[in-house]
Amino acid sequence: MTQSIFNLSGQTALITGGGSGIGKIIAEALAEYGANIAVCSRKVENCVETAEYLIAKYGIQAKAYLCNVTSEEEISETVKRVIKEFGQIDILVNNSGATWGERVERMPIEAWNKVMNVNVTGTFMMSRAVGVHMLERGYGKIINIGSVAGIKAEPGDVLNAIGYSTSKAAVHHFTRDLAKKWAEHGIYVNAIAPGFFETKMTKHVLDKHQREIINRNPLKKLGDPNSLKGTALLLASHASDYITGQVIVVDGGSTL
C-alpha cells in the first residue's frame, strides 16, 4: 500500500532547471519511483547529462530540452514537444531560478528585473503553458521551488539579495493563489521552501557563512538531497491528494 501511493510509473514530469542542483535531485527522486523525466534549462548540456544518467540508472524514459523560462515562445515550444514525445505532462516542477547578491542601495534595476523575470514570470508562464494541458486532462501536480528567504528576512551580512527574497515570497503566494483557482479542476499546486543546501547558487554564501548558518540552525546542519527528495516525491504522487496550496519548509527549523 505504501509503495502504491508513491508509485509514479507511467507518469511524466517536466522539471525546469533540471540539469543540476535541486532540479537534478528532484528529477532523480521522481525517476526512482518510475516517472519519465523531461528536463529543460538554458544549459542543455547539463540536462543531457542528467537525462542520460537517469536512463542508465533507472531504466525510465528521459530527455533534455533547451528552454529559457523567460521566453514565452521557448516555453510554448518546449511544452508542445514534451507532450508530443511523452504523451502527457502529469507533474511540473518549476525549479529554474536566478539570484543576485548586492546591497539594496547598489542593486541595478537590470539585476532586479532579471531575477523577477526568471523566478516569478518564468514560473507563471510555465505553469500557464502546462496548465492548459492539465486543465484539459483534469489532473496535474505542480511543484514550485520557493525558499526560506521568501519567509524570513536575513541580516545583510548573511544574505544580501533582496530581489531573490522578494521573488520567492511572490512564488509562495502565486502557489496559494493558483491552487485556489485550479483545485476544482483536479490540479494540485504546492511549493517547497528549502533552507540552506549545498548548491551552485548557495556556494558564495556558504563559503563565507557556513559555520554561522549551521550554528544558528536548530538541527545544526545543512540540508541534504534526501530531505528534498522525500518532499518532492510526496507532492508529486498520490500521497498528497489532499494537499494543495501549501508551502512546505525544508530547513532544519531555521525559520522557527
The residues assigned a catalytic role are 164
Cβ atoms within 10 A of the Cβ of 2, count? Answer: 7
Beta strands 91-94; 36-41: pairing state: unpaired
Rounded to whole angstroms, how far apart are CA atoms 64 and 82? 10
Residue 247 pairs in a beta bridge with: 191
Is residue 15 within 8 A of residue 46, CB to CB? The reply is no
Q: Nearest to residue 161, comparing CAs of 125, 207, 204, 223?
A: 204
Is residue 245 within 8 A of residue 176, CB to CB? The reply is yes
Inter-axis angle of helices 162-182 and 109-116, to 10 degrees? 30
